[in-house]
Structure 1
């Protein structure tokens, strides 16, 4: 933790990713992550920062409480609020409220903070808006959820579905594990989980025939009969085919948004690619063609005895056109419009730079430079704008020369991020020529746009703090989350050095008793016997405490004398070997084993 804070302070700016949750102990917690440019590795890095109880000193988790807890935590971590340049949240009103949201309160202290509504949440809202605008797609989503509940909450109906499925596949399942494996193919669709609807649709697509046969056998049940009547239609099955083609494209975009380190430079190409893929599906009409093949003789759906008429095909084409068109519009509405400050960062894209002999080259980027100057240096005014334009007039020649150096394939970055990273890495030389633009490039790399990391943090909290471990305090939880989320890979050199450092610090806290090192008994027996008489050593007793070993120096005559003395004091008469009630007779002489027993007692 301390090393990460030192790297952040060395970077000079950072972005904060925040989410709130309620844990298993019904405590409202704030989970925070930090994004920054690591000069040592030359890459953008995101790491877990803190988890704090919001209601420990407050009665309500309002924006003022969030602000107070956040400022207190940053002060304890020795992170300056003035160095925060980006803030991303899930878009809740308590986070992004225009007047009194957490972002608004932060901007009153630091006006240069860029507040971003998480792109993953915005994509989910775009999909929700599309489903809500089309009644039939919304009905399909409802039926998918009802179907899962029908089988999940009824062992009898699940048994019928499983029997139908195994008979159709001609599979004989004897173990309970095998039955559960087959039954799990129906997935739950949840609106609050970004990718769950895709898996639910795929499961119905794969098992549509067994599902309809099971519903047909359960027609005595009203819900089963209603689902059977609605699902055994060409329109419903065609909608499943359409969703099966469209949802993987959206899931691919969502997974890209959930990447470890993603910034604004990635958004435009990803969105453009997604819209082109959706247009391709609409142009070639592949879902409807696949449906017609499946319903034909010998197809995977031929046993349903359904025919795709011209009217059905026309309905499905209309539904697909409306769905994809509405989806593209909602993506533009939710993701296409961005803050002017984020759009201005696109000047760092070498591939968009016009050639030197182009008429636009002379004034290229000057409008964006003024936007950046007004936001990053609000107190400097026109003076800083002129200074940045002068720096930009020279830097764009360098960026133009880098155009030929941009790799043809950038698997985990974009040309904009590649250029900004190069500018920051060359800070030692560029810092004298372009001091302000180097700072702006670093801000570009530190502004987060996705809240996926806090969502991962929330999942880890629920894995660590379970019903049986619900009393874990936040100091322990913070340590466990740092190990889980920020720790190195197991058995790696970094992991070994971290463990050695942790042990060193633990030993340095106070003087601790050290146990002797244990070695080979056969090779060390002589040295052990030689040292036994000169120095004592500690050993672990049965009661799990450290005790000093006492050498046995008492003889048999001394023991017998002590016994006789005790008998006289207790007035029990003389000691007789045959007075024992036991049937066992004692021998005239005692073995060393018997002597040890007496000494122990």
Structure 2
């Protein structure tokens, strides 16, 4: 029985889930009941499929793998194979979400070769970047050579020699000729790239300045072309700078032609003429003419603009006026010109004069100078050379005269009299006063506050010299005894000659004082003086109560010019440069605020006002901006012409307007080899076009 029971249990159906389902079973067949229902065996239940999903931690091991949803299903992709353009299951999208499939793919040939290609590409990229950096560095170094050449007026054809020199001394970027440009067109392209950087900086400065002043002058270059040079004076946050704009050809020197060129250039730099508030020039009638001069034409476009006759020119003209008024001074200038010409063309005479000077003074001879009409106060240097060389000159000319040289005899008769040597020492006292005044007016930082005090100081010094001898004249009187000076006989030293000299001396100094007054009249500098009165705290009276009385006349003059109403062409309401009522109300508070900082000078006070009080005193800030850019000197234009003449010489006379202007712009740049942006210039150069090496 037991065996039969075990066999029966063996054939009983079992549930795959481990539980019995009584609803689908039949009673088992028993040996006692033949009528019992025998159960039928059911098929086992189907196994459920196990689903697999992407695991984010796989990315830690295989950073190139990613999972995207495609048609509602997750697919595995290989970024590395895709990037290299391979075609395999992982570029089409693998549905096999197993770690083993990713591992197998990482070991397949496609994936390994794609990885090797990536490393090669990275290495190639590194080498290319290294080569590019080296090439850029070489171009920057060549740019520096071109920049240096332009700064020192070295002709472009010297560039190849400069690079060969650098190569010979093993300069880092010039050890080989590879990457070194040698063609003349490439040199021009480098200059253009440097100029582009300068022009970008110029436009930024002009754009940041609410108002500008312009300095213009005309001349003729070595090829007899009429040229117009132009500078602008700008201020940015109170900092003032004078910048070179260009040197242009003009077909004539008429006021209309010059004005048209100025307007064309300014509009080309996006500058409206209404922003021009100051015009500086050399005072020529074509510039300063009241009815048809350039300043008058500008005033039609910019009503509030101010014309200024260069103060350095005024000083030189004052000296010329005084010299013309006194015959003895004119004769003196002709004499020293004759001395200069006599020795200039003879090496033997100059050598004898040099030997005599060394014997007498044990010092080297001071070279003789010639008074030049186009060089300001060149008479001063000529007088100094005559004063130091006079004993040797007399001895050498005497030897020439004894030998029968009539010209030497004539010159000797002019330089040996008492009047000549006495006037030499008088001029040695007087001319330094005028020279110092002129040099101050030639400084880059000269402003309108400098004019009046320097002129007054010069007049005071000349008045003292008129009333009493100066140190050089006293020294001459002390060293001159019994008609002898430094062991040399002085002729015509009688009382009559002495008195004639004293009269000429007093007349010359008085004419010089009068000429300064005539060239610097108060009415012509009225507005400039008003700026100085109101915006120069160093001149304010110490008592607060006296401040209004001190400032009131200047305030009224300023309001009369800048507060006047100007009708518009469209017949709308008239406009003013400033709100007169607001400016008058804020004048004394503004001056009080500036005085609280101590004795600020004019430039510092304007800078402080512009930077700190723009919202508090807006009208006076506007006037301070105007005061900063008014050009009181045209010296930059004179220096520009000197630069032009150093660039365009007889040997380089074929240089065109564009090339000369380009070289002048680079040469006049305030940047140095350490501060110039050569990387930007190199980028412009390489991006320009294909060029010859």
TM tier, shorter chain? Answer: 0.7 to 0.9
Q: Which residue of 2 aligns with 1:260?
A: 444
Equivalent residue for 1:436? Answer: 619
State which of 498, 505, 512 in structure 2 corresponds to 1:320. Answer: 505
How many Å separate the matches in 2 of 1:312 and 1:290?
19
Asked if the contact 1:349–1:419 (Cα under 8 Å) also holds between the matched residues in 2, the reply is yes
Which one of 421, 424, 438 corresponds to residue 240 of structure 1? 424
Deviation at 1:192, TM superposition (A): 1.8
Q: CA deviation at 1:148?
A: 0.6
Q: Could you list the runs of 5+ residues in structure 2 that have no partner in the other structure?
A: 1-198, 568-573
1:189 matched to 2:371: yes
Post-superposition shift, 1:363?
Answer: 5.2
Normalising by structure 1, report the TM-score.
0.75
* Distance across 1 between alignment mates of 2:682 and 2:563: 46
1:141-540 to 2 correspondences below 5 Å: 141-155=333-347, 157-168=349-360, 182=365, 185-219=367-401, 220-286=404-470, 287-296=472-481, 301-304=486-489, 311-337=496-522, 338-345=524-531, 346-354=533-541, 358=545, 360-362=546-548, 364-379=550-565, 387-403=579-595, 405-407=597-599, 415-426=601-612, 430-490=613-673, 492=674, 494-495=675-676, 498-510=677-689
Asked if 2 retains the 8 angstrom alpha-carbon contact of 1:391 and 1:433, the reply is no
Query: Does the Cα contact within 8 Å between 2:417 and 2:492 map onto a contact in 1?
Result: no
Partner of residue 560, structure 1: none
Q: Distance in 1 between matches of 2:514 and 2:344?
A: 36
How many pairs does the alignment contain?
484
Deviations 1:399-457 (A, max 9, x none): 234335335xxxxxx8233322221122xxx2223222111111011001111100000
**Counterpart position of 1:48:** 244
Tell me how far apart the structure 2 counterparts of residues 204 and 70 of structure 1 sit (CA, whole Å): 45
Structure-2 residue corresponding to 1:119 = 311
RMSD over equivalenced CA pairs, Å: 2.8
Separation in structure 2 between the aligned mates of residue 276 and residue 170 of structure 1, nearest angstrom: 37
Counterparts of 1:232 and 1:280, CA distance in 2: 28
In structure 1, what is the Cα distance between the partners aligned to 2:492 and 2:327? 24
Structure 1 position 315, deviation (Å): 3.8
Task: Please identify, of 97-106 and 150-159, the stretch whose mean Cα deviation from structure 2 is larger.
Answer: 150-159
Instruction: State how far apart, in whole Å, the 1-side matches of 2:601 and 2:298 are.
Output: 31
Q: Using structure 2 for the length normalisation, give the TM-score.
A: 0.65
Contact 2:429 2:473 in 1 (8 A): no
* Contact 2:535–2:602 (Cα < 8 Å) also in 1: yes
Moved more, 70-79 or 340-349: 340-349
Post-superposition CA distance 1:367-396 (Å, at most 9, x none): 433332343344359996994354343342
Q: For the residues of structure 1 that align with 2:447 and 2:362, how far apart are their CA atoms? A: 51
Give the superposition deviation at 1:221.
2.9
* 3-state SS of 2:380 partner: helix
Deviation at 1:189, TM superposition (A): 1.0
Q: Does the 8 A contact of 1:63 with 1:95 survive in 2?
A: yes
Deviations along 1:93-120, one digit per CA (max 9) or x if unpaired, are 2212222111111112212111111111
* Aligned match of 1:32: 230
Cα distance in structure 1, aligned partners of 2:587 and 2:615: 12
Structure 1 residues 116-125 or 150-159, which shifts more? Answer: 150-159
Contact 1:120 1:452 in 2 (8 A): yes
Structure 1 residues 391 and 256, CA gap change in structure 2 (3 angstroms):
same
**Distance between the aligned counterparts of 1:386 and 1:131, measured in 2?**
45
Structure 1 residue 236: Cα displacement: 0.8
Larger displacement relative to structure 2 (398-407 or 44-53): 398-407
1:336–1:79 CA distance, 2 compared to 1 (3 A): same
Asked if 2 retains the 8 angstrom alpha-carbon contact of 1:33 and 1:48, the reply is yes
Say which of 31, 45, 69 aligns to 2:261.
Answer: 69
Deviations 1:138-174 (A, max 9, x none): 1111111111111113445435534544554579xxx
Q: 1:355 to 1:161 in 2, by over 3 A?
A: closer
> Within 2, Cα distance between the matches of 1:145 and 1:10?
50
Does the Cα contact within 8 Å between 1:264 and 1:342 map onto a contact in 2?
A: yes
C-alpha distance in 1, partners of 2:353/2:544?
Answer: 71
Query: CA separation in 1, counterparts of 2:564 and 2:622?
Result: 15
For residues 460 and 388 of structure 2, what CA distance do their matches in structure 1 show?
A: 27
Structure with larger Rg: 2
Higher mean Cα deviation, 151-160 or 432-441?
151-160
Residue 53 of structure 1, CA deviation = 0.7
Describe the shift of the 1:212–1:299 C-alpha distance in structure 2 as closer, same or farther (beyond 3 A). Answer: closer
Q: What SS does structure 1 have at the residue aligned with 2:241?
A: strand
In 2 relative to 1, CA 299–390 (structure 1 residues): closer, same or farther, beyond 3 Å?
farther
CA shift in 2, pair 1:377/1:238, >3 Å: same
Q: CA deviation at 1:475?
A: 1.8
8 Å contact kept, 1:420–1:441: yes
Whether the aligned pair in 2 keeps the contact of 1:51 and 1:474 (CA below 8 Å) is yes
Tell me by how many angstroms 1:50 deviates. Answer: 0.9
CA distance in 2: counterparts of 1:38 and 1:385, whole angstroms:
20
Q: Which runs of 5+ in 1 are unaligned?
A: 172-180, 408-413, 513-543, 546-601
1:598 aligned residue: none
Is the 1:294–1:301 contact (alpha carbons within 8 Å) kept by the matching residues of 2? yes
- Checking the alignment, whether the CA contact within 8 Å between 2:319 and 2:377 is kept in structure 1 is no
Counterparts of 1:374 and 1:241, CA distance in 2? 49
C-alpha displacement of 1:270 = 0.8
- Closer, same or farther in 2 for the Cα pair 1:313/1:431, shift >3 Å? same
Structure 2 counterpart SS, 1:255 = helix
